[in-house]
Amino acid sequence: MLDRYSSKVVKGPLNILANVANRFGVKADQISIIGFCLGCCAFPAIVFGYLELALVFILLNRTFDGLDGAVARKHGPSDAGGFLDISLDFVFYSMIPFAFVIANPAENAIAGAFLIFAFVGTGSSFLAFAVMAGKRGIENPVYKHKSLYYMSGLTEGTETIACFVIFCLWPQYFNHVAYLFGAACWFTTFTRIHSGFHTLNSNQG
């Protein structure tokens, strides 16, 4: 819901960093992999209770995720790069709640499982429509420079990162936030399925 606005805020700083990356010959795929590795460092930090450090790694991961797109757009986005980026994103998204489950399974297991379950719904509906939209040549009028159709919803990247920030700053509310955000993710899933089905059905020809 908020990605279209947050992307405008970070566009300028990311373009500056992208110019620096280009100057040193750093490729978008390399940035994607580095960002994912940084994100993976949040996992042990959460498990062992270093939540401030985990938050730093989460924010670094998201910064690199924005940066790889900024670099890719300077050379033209590629299918391989888009595939790598979105695949690593969804692994990272599921990794964070799973880390909180491992850190405190007695209290966090069910809420964490519910949230990951909800992520499967948002992720599968997002990717399934992107595949079909690609086959039909349907383009998103808002995100024209993405390598695949970026289907919006109530819960997008910005909301997900806000959720992770809350987890790290106020871990005592993990269950409440996980259930609430998971329910919002299911709302996103159902609206994507509904709108996606009708969009594809009206473009049969």
User: Are 67 and 22 within 8 A, CB to CB?
Assistant: no
pTM of the model: 0.90
CATH of the domain at 178: 1.20.120.1760
Residue 29: domain span: 3-201
Extract the tokens encoding 22: 């280009």
Q: How far apart are CA 32 and CA 95, in angstroms?
A: 16
What pLDDT score does 147 carry?
60
Report how many domains make up the chain.
1
What pLDDT score does 111 carry?
98
What pLDDT score does 199 carry?
86
User: Are 133 and 149 within 8 A, CB to CB?
Assistant: yes
What pLDDT score does 127 carry?
92
Q: How far apart are CA 40 and CA 36, in angstroms?
A: 6
The mean pLDDT values, 10 residues at a time, for the chain of 205 residues are 80 89 91 97 98 98 93 83 93 98 98 98 92 80 60 88 98 98 97 91 73
Scored b (16 or more CB within 10 A) or e, 35-73 reads bbebbbbbbebbbeeebebbbbbbbbbbbbbbbbbbbbb
